[in-house]
Copies of this chain bind each other. A is one copy, B any other.
Amino acid sequence: MIKHFALIAAGVLSLHTATAQKYVDASTLTIIGRTCPMEGHPYYRVDTTRYHFDNATIRRYCGYPAGVAVLFTTDSRRIEARWTTTPRNYGWNMSPVLQRGMDLYIRKDGIWTMAGASRPGPEATGRHSSAIIEHMDRETRECMLYLPTWSELLTLEIGVDEDASVTPLASPYKHRVIVFGSSITHGASASRPGMAYPARMSRMTGIEFVNLGYSGNSMLQPEFARLLAETDADAFLFDAFSNPSAAMIRDRLDAFVATLVKAHPDKPLIFMQTHWHAAGNFNKEAAQFHRERIDTADRMMRRLAKQYDNVYFLDGEWYYGKDSEGTIDCDHGSDLGYDRMISERLPRIRKILRKYGIR
């Protein structure tokens, strides 16, 4: 939008017209961020043949590659993508590029650095094609492409110059922390996939924070407890109190925690308090709903953290900031809200992880 005829005049604006000479199937490259990979569905976060959910939304979200990234090395001067998603309308409180687009990071002087976004096409078709970056020097680069957060990804091809190489890049992450949670974890409403807080914390720390966010459906269900109990990781982080009501927390939290402690007795299990929802600033019913569940979670988690050595509770509900400017819709963080959240939560998370040699 900023470019228009100034950049056309300058010859810069061939961008966003896909004209690659060679395409590589991304499923042949390295794929990170999946909890349990599924045969035949390379971009699914969870194997839905192994874990059955009665709820159709949860089943669908298992296939959304939120937090999943493709890693590759290339010496192409230009990188593009062609991809297909299930046709769906765009949600109102998230950008289309977060929902159906992608963003590319390239390692520069050891730091993963934003290189370009791939713009999704008209929502009706689910077919997309976009340049991501062009006019680079011809040198070998390490690339991380974050996949769409709010749609199944049916196919993905990476486009490069005819004479360029594309090879799988080994994951830069040694340790893996599963982050289970709500829309907040899933990515709503970061500006683009790579700005969801687990992805951003991964780049900041060198520890992989795997996104297992299920928007609106993180309700301490026994099926999720089973999935997490059977999942291998170095630690678990829970955004567990953003969806359930106080009654659900009372009914389900003890059993949920007990299942996880039994399965992972030596791994840190870190539970985060949910944020104060600005919807409660003026809406008295919303205020009461949020206050009750925050208080319930606080009371129960303090007891559970005493009961189990490896259970931790990060209290405090103001991590989006007290000025209510950190959300898009009173509920979901913007990049600003998540930046504030990371500033407050991440040092506390890392302090716990360090006790377990995770750094």
- Name A's B-contacting residues (CB within 8 A): 1-7, 9-12, 89-97, 101, 106, 108, 111, 113-117, 119-120, 122, 133-137, 141, 182-184, 188-189, 191-192, 195, 200, 215-217, 219, 242-245, 247-248, 277-279, 281-286, 289, 323-332, 334-339
Contact = CB atoms under 8 A, between A and B. Distances in A.
A136 B287 CA distance: 10
B93 A195 contact: no
Contact of A335 (B7, B134, B141, B335): B335
22 contacts: A2-B183, A2-B243, A2-B331, A4-B217, A12-B283, A12-B286, A92-B101, A93-B96, A93-B97, A93-B119, A94-B95, A106-B282, A108-B281, A108-B282, A114-B281, A117-B329, A134-B283, A137-B284, A191-B334, A191-B335, A336-B338, A336-B339
A338 B336 CA distance: 9
A63 B70 CA distance: 42
Counting from the closest, the 7 A-B pairs by CB-CB distance are: A4-B216, A335-B336, A191-B328, A334-B335, A191-B334, A135-B285, A114-B324
Contacts of A6: 219, 243-245, 248
A102 to B, nearest CB: 11
Contacts of A336: 191, 334-336, 338-339
Nearest to A7: B289
Contact of A195 (B277, B325, B339): B325
A14 to B, nearest CB: 9
A216 B197 CA distance: 30
Given A12-B289, A326-B335, 8 more contacts: A5-B216, A6-B243, A108-B282, A114-B327, A141-B282, A191-B336, A192-B329, A336-B339
Given A114-B281, A133-B283, A325-B114, A2 B97 contact: no
Contacts of A12: 283, 285-286, 289
Contacts of A111: 323
Contacts of A339: 336, 339
A332 B2 contact: yes
Contacts of A11: 285
B286 A135 contact: yes
Nearest to A136: B282
A330 B184 contact: no
Contacts of A117: 93, 328-330
Contacts of A95: 92-95, 189, 328
A40 to B, nearest CB: 29
Nearest to A274: B2
A113 B281 contact: yes
A215 B219 CA distance: 42
Contacts of A183: 1-2
A119 B189 CA distance: 14
Nearest to A194: B325
A327 B291 CA distance: 34
A71 B292 CA distance: 33
Nearest to A93: B97
B1 A216 contact: yes
A308 to B, nearest CB: 26
